[in-house]
Amino acid sequence: GENVEQHPSTLSVQEGDSAVIKCTYSDSASNYFPWYKQELGKRPQLIIDIRSNVGEKKDQRIAVTLNKTAKHFSLHITETQPEDSAVYFCAASTQHPDMRFGAGTRLTVKP
Amino acid sequence: GAGVSQTPSNKVTEKGKYVELRCDPISGHTALYWYRQSLGQGPEFLIYFQGTGAADDSGLPNDRFFAVRPEGSVSTLKIQRTERGDSAVYLCASSSNPGLNEQFFGPGTRLTVL
């Protein structure tokens, strides 16, 4: 089955700097890659997703890149703000819709 | 509109007891998913329903876990003979179309087995 690895497990940046979180997946059939943000005690919320027919997608300060050959995808947050502090999860799924999540990255943005 | 809701928000039970966790998906969403999230981990897939049927239950850890969705809307996750290792947050999600569409998560039920 699909296996998703996520790095780093914790990330601390200064406000205004960029943050990058990387994930790798094992199943070459995976074709949908969402990123979720989870604040303490809250539900995971989708912040951006990418499908396998696209290499990059951007939404304001957030971008995701996908390298299908290498089977990895990354989340990029620019101009980080303290409210970006949360745990971020990547995930991968195929047409078979059980989504596999990474272990999460705890991002701390220091003011 | 209303999002995914789950009840109860917290459940404390004793080892060996039976528990039921309820999920109300977004109205009209045909796909429903259950996940389990342990502290410091990502959600772990348990079971997926398309309509009333369990299309994939490969994530259920053992036969103490069972889930139903009799009318294709509300779902109940049932855990028999609970063990301390079952303690986790149980998340439900729904989507309008399985596979390539966003899954909307509920707030979760925090289960504590003493």
pLDDT at residue B1 greater than cutoff 60: no
Q: Do B33 and A98 touch (CB under 8 A)?
A: yes
Q: Which residues, listed in sequence order, are joined to residue A14 by a DSSP beta bridge?
A: A110
B70 interface with A at CB cutoff 8 Å: no
Q: Do A44 and B99 touch (CB under 8 A)?
A: no
| Cα-based distances in Å from A53 to A23, A30, A96, B48 | 18, 11, 17, 25
Note the pLDDT of residue A74.
98
How close B76 gets to chain A, by Cα (Å)?
Answer: 18
Note the pLDDT of residue B100.
60
pLDDT at residue A97 greater than cutoff 70: no
Residues B78 and B60: beta-carbon distance below 8 Å = no
Note the pLDDT of residue B84.
96
Note the pLDDT of residue A1.
74
Q: Which residues, listed in sequence order, are joined to residue A48 by a DSSP beta bridge?
A: A35
How close B2 gets to chain A, by Cα (Å)?
Answer: 14
Of B4, B103, B107, the CB nearest to A99: B103
Note the pLDDT of residue A53.
82
User: What is the torsional sign of CA B36, B37, B41, B42?
Assistant: positive
How close A86 gets to chain B, by Cα (Å)?
Answer: 12
Q: What percent of chain B has pLDDT over 90?
A: 78
pLDDT in tens, A25-52: 999 989 899 999 999 989 999 999 998 8
Q: Do B42 and A95 touch (CB under 8 A)?
A: no
A19 interface with B at CB cutoff 8 Å: no
Note the pLDDT of residue A71.
95
Note the pLDDT of residue A35.
97
How close B51 gets to chain A, by Cα (Å)?
Answer: 14
Note the pLDDT of residue A72.
95
Note the pLDDT of residue B19.
98
Length of chain B: 114
pLDDT at residue A99 greater than cutoff 90: no
Strands (E), chain B: 5-7, 10-13, 19-24, 31-37, 44-50, 53-56, 65-68, 75-79, 88-95, 104-105, 109-113
Q: Residue B55: which residues within 8 A CB-CB, separation 6 or more?
A: B48, B49, B98
For range B75-84, the mean pLDDT: 97
Residue of B nearest to A39 (CA): B107
pLDDT in tens, B23-64: 999 998 999 999 999 988 999 999 999 888 888 898 999 999
Range from B7-11, B47-51, B54-58, B102-106 carrying the lowest mean pLDDT? B54-58
Of B59, B99, B107, the CB nearest to A93: B99
